[in-house]
Amino acid sequence: MKFQSADVARYYDQNTASFLEHGQGGAHGIIHRAVWGEGVLRREQAFHFVHDLLRARIADGGAQRILDLGCGVGASLEYILRGTSASGFGVTNSPIQAQLARARLGDRASISELDFCSAPLPAPIDLAFGIESFVQAPDAAAFFENVSKALAAGGYLVLCDDFLAGDAGDDDRFVRELRRGWQASSLLQTEAVDALAAEHGLELVEDRDLTPCLEFDRPRDRALGLLIALTRPSVSMSARLGSHLGGTRSVSA
């Protein structure tokens, strides 16, 4: 199941306002999952857990040019750059998100509206990261080829995203619906992702499973699972309802 960059852009143009209004991190401009990693005591910290890991890597390595691949409305980049002298760059294929990100970041970062699989990226980059954005790459191999061109010698690429576990594939109804609901062309096994990265000159230095740090089967998730189960017999679920699929395991029941 493949989606084009225009499909992903339309998905975010249609859903960003809802994510910001109704999502738990929306008040802070955050539309990715909360990660309850070590040391996290409050929900706001959970939304910044991955950001703080990136800030630590920037501090350790002295990265000065930071690229957010799928920057959303700019909240991640804003937080990661805070208190640093680094230059920030963000890319998104959504016109609405690009506009909001520019308004949020002002002259603190340069925001470009483009397809990160094919359009030239800002370069050279010391640290590029994608939080829940790689999965929507129209072409995973093209993504790594394009990003590798933008990385400086010794530069890092960090991806925090959803990956297939075990032998899950498109014969699984939940996987099919997740792909469709999230426009997720690049929902792959981690081994396949690592192999594609290696083909384009990237070396794996760390692989960390954050699944145990995620929240599943919250009351909200169970309610959405029931709603989606009732909606399935219809011709198709709405884009907004489909966008909630990845937040809960209960929809696979």
* Number of domains, the chain: 2
What confidence tens digit (pLDDT) does each residue in 39-67 have?
A: 999 999 999 999 999 999 999 989 999 99
- Domain check: are 185 and 233 in the same one? no
Do 224 and 130 have their domain in common?
A: no
Could you write out the DSSP letters of every residue in 156-187?
EEEEE---B-TT--TTSHHHHHHHHHHT-TT-
- Whether residues 38 and 137 share a domain: the answer is yes
Q: Does 8 score more than 90 pLDDT?
A: yes
pLDDT tens-place string over residues 81-115: 999 999 999 999 999 999 999 999 999 999 999 99
β-partners of residue 158 are 129
Collect all residues with Cβ–Cβ distance below 8 Å to 208 and sequence separation of at least 6: none
Which position has the token pair 């809802």? 18
Range of the domain at 111: 5-214
Residue 168 shares a structural domain with residue 182: yes
pLDDT of residue 75: 98
In this structure, are 122 and 223 located in the same domain? no
109 and 205, same domain (yes or no): yes
149 with 174, same domain: the answer is: yes
DSSP-derived letter for residue 39 is: T
| Whether residue 243 sits in one domain with residue 125 | no
Q: For residue 115, give the CATH number of its domain.
A: 3.40.50.150
Same domain, 117 and 242: no
Instruction: State the Cα–Cα distance between residues 16 and 29, nearest whole angstrom.
Output: 10
Q: Give the position of tokens 């199941």.
A: 1
Q: Average of pLDDT values for 160-177?
A: 84
Q: What is the mean pLDDT of the chain?
A: 88
Predicted model pTM: 0.89
Query: For the segment 11-26, what is each residue's pLDDT rounded down to a tens digit?
Result: 999 999 999 998 989 9
pLDDT for the residue 229: 52
